[in-house]
Structure 1
Amino acid sequence: MTAPEHYALFPTPIGVCGISFRSGKITGLQLPEATAEATRQALLVRSPHATEAPPSGPVRRVIAQVGALLEGRAVDLSSAPLELQAPPFHRRVYERLMRVPPGQTITYGELAAELGSPGAARAVGQAMRRNPIPILIPCHRVTGRGGLGGFTAHGGTSTKERLLRLEAGT
């Protein structure tokens, strides 16, 4: 039997974020919506059976790290405990993307080519759109060939640009 999934909301400098977790592993992260309630509802779309609960030690550490990042401090999120449910291609995209250093970017096409699928830039874009754990799986670091590309979080490309600036320390 699978352990129950829980969630918590937490304040950050850019608004109220949400995090879902199971057995100390992160299953989802929701960037701020216009209101805390909208953030909760967006998180529950991806984790409909999650119940609100205080986060455990490992999850509290990730919350603190995300908060620090959103304050503009350098943090290493690479060891965050993740429980990733994703199709095989998306999983490969996410695993490669997690190796892109903070403050740096990679294009959809470059990411596809590095995975041995040079014509799959749109499939990489689909993986970014379906990313359940943004920031920890840093989809904001993936750009279009001629600009930022899209971003599905509230605020769109303005939020993406802000995250990149925070990571770059500017």
Structure 2
Amino acid sequence: MTGKTYYRIFDTDGGPCGIAWTPAGVVRFQLPGDDAATTRRLLLRHLPEADAAEPPPAVAEAIEGVKRYFAGEPADFSNVPLDLAGQSDFFRAIYDAARRLHWGETTTYGTLARDLGAGPEMAREVGQAMAKNPVALIIPCHRVLAAGGKVGGFSAPGGASSKLKMLALEGVSFAPPEPAQSSFGF
């Protein structure tokens, strides 16, 4: 992190979210928790020295985008300034690639690895980067799926069901599998 850290808890249609920033950019984003106190606790567990503050214009714009997102309106976070100090160069490359995924688009861990020139065998490392993403939604890790287009994991509150809800907001759905022997009734 670069400089003093500040945060803001705010309401959305999905519940209270939290955002933290330094002068260099957003360092953490907390997806909706059960209530504002839970969201604050989850956001600040990694930032115990952060102070509540009014956000600067770029962060205020990101907050408005988050509100639109949870209202079901397309939102683009690709220009939100980030402070990813402490992240490896490889993780930063993964995060940059994930930020190019737009509303309603998905990819897989293996495809993202291959697109970075790392080869599909690095899919596990892409998954690790997504699991450690400090700014979920702003870096849209929910749009990165497991092999075969399966949902995969999600480290945010609510796990994979939260990922499914976020994707559903974007019009991405996962139909239940067809029964293999439907003509025989089992």
Shorter-chain TM-score category? over 0.9
Counterpart in 1 of 2:47?
A: 47
Q: Which amino acid in structure 2 is aligned with residue 145 of structure 1?
A: A
1:165 Cα offset (Å): 1.6
Counterpart in 2 of 1:102?
A: 103
- Counterpart Cα distance in 2 of 1:76 and 1:149: 23
After superposition, residues 69-148 of structure 1 pair within 5 angstroms as: 69-85=69-85, 86-118=87-119, 119-146=121-148, 147-148=150-151
Higher relative contact order (CA 8 A, sep 6+): 1
- Counterpart Cα distance in 1 of 2:88 and 2:42: 21
1:33 Cα offset (Å): 2.1
Q: Percent identity between the aligned chains?
A: 41
Q: Which amino acid in structure 2 is aligned with residue 140 of structure 1?
A: H
Does residue 152 (structure 1) correspond to residue 155 (structure 2)? The answer is yes
Given that residues 108 and 142 in structure 1 are in contact (C-alpha distance below 8 angstroms), is that contact kept between their aligned partners in structure 2? yes
TM-score by length of 1: 0.93
TM-score by length of 2: 0.85
- Counterpart Cα distance in 2 of 1:158 and 1:169: 13
- Counterpart Cα distance in 2 of 1:58 and 1:133: 15
Q: Secondary structure at the match of 1:46?
A: coil
**Structure 2, unpaired ranges of 5+:** 174-186
- Counterpart Cα distance in 1 of 2:171 and 2:9: 26
1:112 Cα offset (Å): 1.0
- Counterpart Cα distance in 2 of 1:83 and 1:63: 16
- Counterpart Cα distance in 2 of 1:137 and 1:58: 16
- Counterpart Cα distance in 1 of 2:63 and 2:112: 28
Counterpart in 2 of 1:4?
A: 4
Larger Rg: 2
Does residue 23 (structure 1) correspond to residue 26 (structure 2)? The answer is no
1:24 Cα offset (Å): 6.6
- Counterpart Cα distance in 2 of 1:38 and 1:94: 26
Q: Which amino acid in structure 1 is aligned with residue 125 of structure 2?
A: A
1:54 Cα offset (Å): 1.6
Note closer, same or farther for the CA distance 1:155–1:15 as it changes in structure 2 (3 Å cut): same
Given that residues 76 and 102 in structure 2 are in contact (C-alpha distance below 8 angstroms), is that contact kept between their aligned partners in structure 1? no
**Structure 1, unpaired ranges of 5+:** none
Note closer, same or farther for the CA distance 1:35–1:55 as it changes in structure 2 (3 Å cut): same
1:3 Cα offset (Å): 2.8
- Counterpart Cα distance in 2 of 1:3 and 1:153: 26
1:140 Cα offset (Å): 0.2
